[in-house]
Amino acid sequence: MAETRSTCCYCGVGCGVIIEHEGDRITGVRGDPAHPANFGRLCTKGSTLHLSAGPETLAVRALRPELRTARETARQGVSWEAALDHVADRFAAIIREHGPDAVAFYGAGQLLTEDYYVFNKLVKGLIGTNNLDTNSRLCMSSAVSGYKMTLGADAPPASYEDIAHTDCLVIAGSNTAFAHPIVFRRVEDARTANPAMKLIVIDPRRTDTAEAADLHLALLPGTDIALYNSMLHVMLWEGLVKRDYIEAHTEGFDAIKKTVREYTPAMASAICGLSKKEIETAAEWFASSPATLSMYCQGLNQYAFGSHNNAALINLHLATGQIGRAGAGPLSLTGQPNAMGGREVGGLANLLSAHRDLANPAHRAEVAALWGVDSVPEKPGKSAVELFQALKSGEVKAVWIACTNPAQSMPDQTLVHEALATAELVVVQEAFAHTETCRHADVLLPATTWGEKDGTVTNSERRITRVRGAVAAPVEARHDWQIAVDFARRLGVALGKGELAQRMFPYADPESIWNEHRESTRGRDLDITGLSYAMLEADGPQQWPFPEGASSGKQRLYEDGVFPTVSGKARFVVTEHAMTAESPSARYPLHLITGRLRDQWHGMSRTGLVARLYNHEQEPLLHMHPEDLARRRLKGGDLVTVRARGGRIVVKVLESTTVRAGQCFLPMHWGGNAMSGLGSNTLMPSKFDPHSKQPELKHAAVQVEAF
């Protein structure tokens, strides 16, 4: 038996794994004791990875290129050459006739950094459009804008190690025990070592994480800003803010002070559905603790005011000086394994390489010079929701979807399915052929996946880890970066830019791509010019920044109180309570909130293959309070229709007191529903945050009735 060190492909914790394999078969997986993210531990999902990679899963793998030239016909197997020539010719024709903005690319936080880098260069450098977005838009873009608004850069300032040093941990909008289990093991360890440590959990639902809290603030969905503003009000009133820190290291405090004057505990209590005492206690614990750390995820990000949810929480850290010290700071938990790596290479419609901004002419010129092109387009590309709206309207005519399943994961599913049906050309590059999106593919390009591919990922704490292939690609599957390079060279020829494309995409392996990415970070906040593949091999995973000449990466940022803003000071952002995209009404009286289960991951294209991962929850169940069931003469196990403004689905109901009366909960993993043909995101509105453009996937107003 051979062993290969790699990384778990599920969540942003980024656990190290050791893959056990014989010949071309992965036989087992165990935690890597040397990996600083998990020290050998794995959750149920990570420890069953090998069961999603055996020959028995080949039945659902994409194994050969397939193509159809008319929608009403079935795809036929073709050679790679035929598939890529066809796609290059079609893309070139559309670009020639309608311009580069008539095509779009939609990727994933599951792609490796090297894959992301090639796609970004292909779209923004060779084609000349910024129409490249990814499912990270659905996941972390409000965390990005929250950090940039307040601290000046998209850089989580704390590390997992800070959990062991904190005296007060605030977990907001995250069921960490289920979604990031190995991080939660650290929380349990820290509380065992320091029984005086306080745990505050802010979540409408009494999740497993909330069960463990010293103080659970079960606020009404979407009322975080009112809560944080009120906590700041209490801190000011009680003299708990750090005036010397505010004076020396921040700006904009007077404006936020004026705003939060209105947010008395009485006022916030009415908005949030919390008691005044709960708000006052949370404020006192947050401010008075020697070190306060906050961890947060989709419960803050996935709202139409997600950026301000983030900023309001970070305001508390700045007002109390709870940042840049051991055990203190705001730490966003990344949903996907490499959303961070995607952000690093600029793989979103409004970003450029190495945290450069599209709106900055100097940054565009730097990237153009790095890539050897005349310019990079100025106009921002279409973000996820805008992209599918433009596909539906015909403004965008061809879409290339890589490593993700928007026909399940996007809000307003009806529109997404119509958009894919309307598009002139849908190319899907995928490892798994059974996803909802693959059904829409005119061209299906088989890609390698976990256990087969090489590259790097960056986890939530800025730690870069090598991902290594243990077995050969099955049948005709190719690596994502290879497919993008082969297409780029062909498209270059078709557009009369063959020589340029050859020059731009000379890569023979992932390392040569990563080396170019590394050079693009020189002098930037995420500078990794001191790292190499060889060093990651010899010394293991490393945190950025790690500039040339450094002996280690940085575990903690802003310890000197200097922030990457023009003035060097962090900024308070004025945040005001806002209404959710949909408010409950007489017709849609219930708040629906969504979340994850312990043993499933995202759209289940991989976890759904492992029988034992259904032992925890076998099917999607709508969790409803007994009072709401009684009012509708329903009982647990009944089939119900859940209807929102955007659509309906049919599921079984589960009696549960983990949600308050007036609220219900549905797991987000399932897609196609036997009754309705569409998944839970059918119910979700597509309204998005004006700063981050992240849609409100966490909340909808619904009605529930017997099916």
Which residues bind to ligand SF4, rule: CB under 6 A? 8, 10-11, 13-15, 38, 42-43, 45-46, 180-182
We find the least distance from the C-beta atom of residue 123 to ligand SF4, in angstroms, to be 29
Residue 4: other Cβ atoms inside 10 A: 15
* Helices first, then strands: H and E counts in the chain: 24, 28
Between the alpha carbon of residue 239 and those of residues 233, 234, 235, 291, 521, the distances in Å are: 10, 8, 6, 17, 42
We find the least distance from the C-beta atom of residue 31 to ligand SF4, in angstroms, to be 7
Phi–psi pair at 82, nearest 5 degrees: -65, -40
We find the least distance from the C-beta atom of residue 143 to ligand SF4, in angstroms, to be 17
We find the least distance from the C-beta atom of residue 601 to ligand SF4, in angstroms, to be 7
**Cβ closest to ligand SF4, residue 32 vs residue 696:** 32
We find the least distance from the C-beta atom of residue 706 to ligand SF4, in angstroms, to be 37
Residue 68: other Cβ atoms inside 10 A: 15
We find the least distance from the C-beta atom of residue 400 to ligand SF4, in angstroms, to be 28
For residues 215 and 198, the answer to whether their CB atoms sit within 8 Å is: yes
Tokens of 163: 């959990």
Burial zone of 28 (CB within 10 Å; 0-12 exposed, 13-18 middle, 19+ buried) = middle
The β-bridge relationship of strands 621-624 and 663-667 is antiparallel
Amino acid at 555: Q
We find the least distance from the C-beta atom of residue 44 to ligand SF4, in angstroms, to be 8
Burial zone of 63 (CB within 10 Å; 0-12 exposed, 13-18 middle, 19+ buried) = middle
**Cβ closest to ligand SF4, residue 234 vs residue 597:** 597
Q: Return the residue matching tokens 């804008």.
A: 145
Phi–psi pair at 659, nearest 5 degrees: -110, 150
We find the least distance from the C-beta atom of residue 17 to ligand SF4, in angstroms, to be 7
**Cβ closest to ligand SF4, residue 47 vs residue 150:** 47
**Cβ closest to ligand SF4, residue 30 vs residue 687:** 30
**Cβ closest to ligand SF4, residue 176 vs residue 229:** 176
**Cβ closest to ligand SF4, residue 17 vs residue 391:** 17
Widest CA span of the chain, in angstroms? 71
Name the closest residue to ligand SF4 (Cβ): 46
DSSP string, 451-482: TT--EEEE-TTSEEEEE---SPPPTT-B-HHH
Chain centroid offset of residue 104 CA: 20
We find the least distance from the C-beta atom of residue 338 to ligand SF4, in angstroms, to be 11
**Cβ closest to ligand SF4, residue 298 vs residue 482:** 298
We find the least distance from the C-beta atom of residue 177 to ligand SF4, in angstroms, to be 11
We find the least distance from the C-beta atom of residue 15 to ligand SF4, in angstroms, to be 3
**Cβ closest to ligand SF4, residue 15 vs residue 18:** 15
* 580-584 long-range contacts, CB within 8 A, separation 24+: 580/221, 580/222, 580/303, 580/304, 580/696, 580/699, 580/701, 581/304, 581/685, 581/687, 581/696, 581/699, 581/700, 582/644, 582/645, 582/685, 582/699, 582/700, 582/701, 583/701, 584/662, 584/701
We find the least distance from the C-beta atom of residue 6 to ligand SF4, in angstroms, to be 11
For residues 14 and 7, the answer to whether their CB atoms sit within 8 Å is: yes
We find the least distance from the C-beta atom of residue 8 to ligand SF4, in angstroms, to be 3
- Please tell me what DSSP assigns to residue 163: G
We find the least distance from the C-beta atom of residue 470 to ligand SF4, in angstroms, to be 16
The β-bridge relationship of strands 542-543 and 463-467 is antiparallel
For residues 371 and 125, the answer to whether their CB atoms sit within 8 Å is: yes
Name beta bridge partners: 106. 133, 401
How far apart are the C-alpha atoms of 302 and 304, rounded to whole Å?
A: 7
CA angle 320, 321, 326 (to 5 degrees): 125
We find the least distance from the C-beta atom of residue 334 to ligand SF4, in angstroms, to be 10
**Cβ closest to ligand SF4, residue 15 vs residue 629:** 15
**Cβ closest to ligand SF4, residue 265 vs residue 451:** 451
**Cβ closest to ligand SF4, residue 14 vs residue 156:** 14
Nearest CA among 183, 449, 154 for reference residue 310: 154
**Cβ closest to ligand SF4, residue 9 vs residue 236:** 9
Over the range 146-170, which residues count as b (16 or more CB within 10 Å of their CB) and which as e?
A: bbbbbbbbbbbbbbbebbbbbbbbb
**Cβ closest to ligand SF4, residue 181 vs residue 347:** 181
**Cβ closest to ligand SF4, residue 13 vs residue 398:** 13
**Cβ closest to ligand SF4, residue 42 vs residue 213:** 42
Contacts of 350 (CB under 8 A, 6+ apart): 130, 357, 358, 359, 380, 381, 383, 693
- Please tell me what DSSP assigns to residue 415: H
For residues 60 and 430, the answer to whether their CB atoms sit within 8 Å is: no
